Amino acid sequence: MAKPAYFVGIDLGTTNTVLSYAKIGKQQKEDEKFGLETFPVLQELDKGTTEKLKNLPSFILERVKEPSVLPWEDNSDFIIGEYARERYSDVPERIISSAKSWLCNTKVDRKAKILPWGASEELKKISPLEAMAMFLTHLKNAWLQEFPKNPLEDQLVTVTIPASFDAAARNMITEAAEMSGLKSITLLEEPQAAFYSWIAQSGSPWRKQTKKGDIVLVVDVGGGTTDFSLIEIGEKNGELTLERVAVGNHILLGGDNMDLTLAYLAKGKLEAKNKKVSQWQTIQLGHQARKAKEQLLSDESKKTASVVVSGRGSSVIRSALKTDISREEISELLLEGFFPECGYDDEPNDEMEIGMRELNLMYASDPAITRHLAKFLHSQNSGSKKYGYPNAVLLNGGVFSSDIFKNRLMEILNGWLKEAGKEEARLLEGDDLSYAVSAGATYFGAVKEGEGLRIRGGVSQSYYLGIESALPAVPGHRPSLKAFCVAKQGTEEGTELEVPNKRFGLVVGKQAEFKFFKSNQRREDNFGDLIEDIDETFETTSSMIVELPAYEGMEPGDVIDVKLQILITEIGTLEVYCTTPDDQHKWKLEFSVREAA
């Protein structure tokens, strides 16, 4: 690998993919902003035309007759980006969207060719994993056109993921990167990336806007997902420190839901005029409503915007439908639907579900972001330290580019704080919220190289790997399990550990069960301790049945002598590497040590 020349951050968004970068060696002084840029991505706009745009829409369309006009060799049968998104209103059944959200859907095989979901069999399908690899491959090819001497695979690349992605989804992002030729990437949670972006954009003044003891709430509302995180400001040796103390659940709720809401508003207006609106035209309305929303919320002088959808058949012009949406309607409908007034003790409405439903993404049943936030914050007050009353708020996502939503959220949050006798939370202002995640990921690359302040996050409990006792076989009895401590409570994420002077036997070539335990009561246990009895102070955290490969010279069921190495990653997974003494063969086990709230 050539020496890297750039820090690169990639926001693999549900709706848009963005790449930011910064030259290594030209970073900011203490009181300056971090010098980074958003990469303009070359992509197809229409048949035969291309353009560089600040983002790559996360949409994929099967290529039928249109040959690629991109300047790199493209053997793909698919079109990626703006052209695919624009065609969504014409041929929605052929468009792949929200591929990222499918990665966290445990009810489907995420490596199976299932997208476009529900499409007819004659359409060519791909897996969610392949879709993510396609986005990264497109970025890699576009980058090479601009930086032919510095291929993307040779740079320090950080890719962001939702804070609540499970271990399998995280692994698939890494696998997608490998499929695209990016063999070595770092993963970073999106809310943390947003916070890093705020630090990078403010320079040293961020230290003047926060103080020891502050709890910063990060609210990240993207196109398809909403994430909450809490970061505590501490102090060590006279310097401020950052620690992520809580992460919310994965919520499939975002700007796309708002667009669909406006589509139904437009549909209702048309039907009130006795216009018949088909399901296909409703999809078109959602696409056009997004454009109307962006126009009205970005230009306060504009009061209304038109929504026009075409018809199908020979009388296309006659069957075209048109209506207007006003700024006032958008404000009222979206505020009351997504940011309604609610109490601190409120929870999302859990309506009784219909017994039979279409299999699809696990969308949030309640669109009220404020109720989801109330549940998250309220859940943070059960321990000895109350984290559920933040002092500061950082908002991220294009939704909050509008003061309407920003002000409403702060108004509701500060109402809760006032009722609890707490001081109002202050808003930490950032720059362009649509590009903050990729910018923060870029800055994190510099942080990893020792050029900035890192957000820390210690594991909340101690974690153990079940080890079978070496005892003679007894009919009707399995050997007992011992608990081997692989992570002591408080161990920081990013820590690498090696077990000294201990060897274990690893079963390969056949299915075997691996058990993991946790405990928040055994503070005296240290890394490497082997506890003889697994009593009531332990809780089973996960169990996996897996067949680890038998390499050349090994037979199914062989027990291989291995040493253990442990890595607690920045994204909350614990990786156990089992390596032969000669370092010739290595196997990996992985589970999550991140507690979602």
Give the Cα-Cα-Cα angle 384, 390, 396 (nearest 5 degrees).
Answer: 135
Predicted confidence (pLDDT) at residue 32 exceeds the cutoff of 60: no
Looking up tokens 């890699």, which residue turns up?
Answer: 140
Q: Hey, what are 318's tokens?
A: 């006659």
User: What is the Cα–Cα distance from 580 to 552, expressed in whole angstroms?
Assistant: 13
Q: Mean of the pLDDT values across residues 289-316?
A: 80
Domain boundaries, the chain: 6-188, 193-252+344-351+360-451, 255-338, 462-592
Q: In Å, what is the CA distance from 121 to each residue of 64, 115, 124?
A: 15, 11, 8
What tens digit of pLDDT does each residue of 529-574 get? 999 989 888 988 878 888 999 999 999 999 999 999 999 887 778 8
255-338: CATH number: 3.90.640.10
- Picking from 78-87, 245-254, 353-362, 558-567, which range would have the lowest pLDDT averaged per residue? 353-362
User: Which letter, b or e, does each residue of 414-453 get, where b requires 16 or more Cβ atoms within 10 Å of its Cβ?
Assistant: bebbeeeeeeebbbbebeebbbbbbbbbbbbbbbbeeebe
How much is the pLDDT for 277?
Answer: 87
Question: What percent of the chain has pLDDT above 90?
Answer: 51
Region 16-37: mean pLDDT is 77
What does the pLDDT read at residue 53? 97
Of residues 401 and 57, the one with the higher pLDDT is: 57
**Which residues 6+ apart lie within 8 Å of 110 measured at CB?**
102, 103, 127, 128, 129, 168, 169, 172
Label the pairing between strands 226-236 and 41-46.
Answer: unpaired
CA pair distance 239, 388, nearest whole angstrom? 24
Kindly give the residue spans of alpha helices, DSSP state H, lying in 347-435: 369-378, 403-419
pLDDT tens, position by position, 218-249: 999 988 889 999 999 998 877 788 888 888 87
pLDDT of residue 357: 41
**pLDDT value for 31:** 47
Q: 6-188, what's its fold?
A: Nucleotidyltransferase; domain 5 (3.30.420)
- Average pLDDT score over residue span 366-393: 89
34 and 446 in contact (C-beta within 8 Å)? yes
Q: Which fold has domain 462-592?
A: Substrate Binding Domain Of DNAk; Chain A, domain 1 (2.60.34)
pLDDT (tens digit, 9 = 90+) per residue, 395-453?
A: 998 899 889 999 999 999 999 999 999 999 999 987 778 899 999 999 999 998 888 77
The pLDDT of residue 222 is: 86
Q: Is the dihedral of CA 407, 408, 413, 419 positive or negative?
A: positive
CB atoms closer than 10 angstroms to residue 399: 28
CA distance 571 to 168: 12
Equal CATH topology for 6-188 and 193-252+344-351+360-451: yes
Q: Identify the band that residue 33 occupies on the pLDDT scale cut at 50, 70 and 90.
A: low
Res 363: pLDDT: 74
The token duo for 472 is 């003679």
Homologous superfamily of 193-252+344-351+360-451: ATPase, nucleotide binding domain (3.30.420.40)
| CA-closest candidate to residue 58, choices 88, 33, 32 | 88
User: Is the pLDDT assigned to residue 355 strictly greater than 50?
Assistant: no
Sequence-separated contacts (24+) of 519-527 with Cβ below 8 Å: 519/461, 519/462, 519/464, 520/460, 520/461, 520/462, 520/489, 522/462, 522/489, 523/462, 523/489, 525/462, 525/485, 525/488, 526/485, 526/488, 527/485, 527/486, 527/487, 527/488, 527/491, 527/497, 527/566
Place of tokens 């919220």: 433
Q: So what's the pLDDT on residue 38?
A: 96
Three-class HEC string of 209-224? HCCCCCEEEEEEECCC
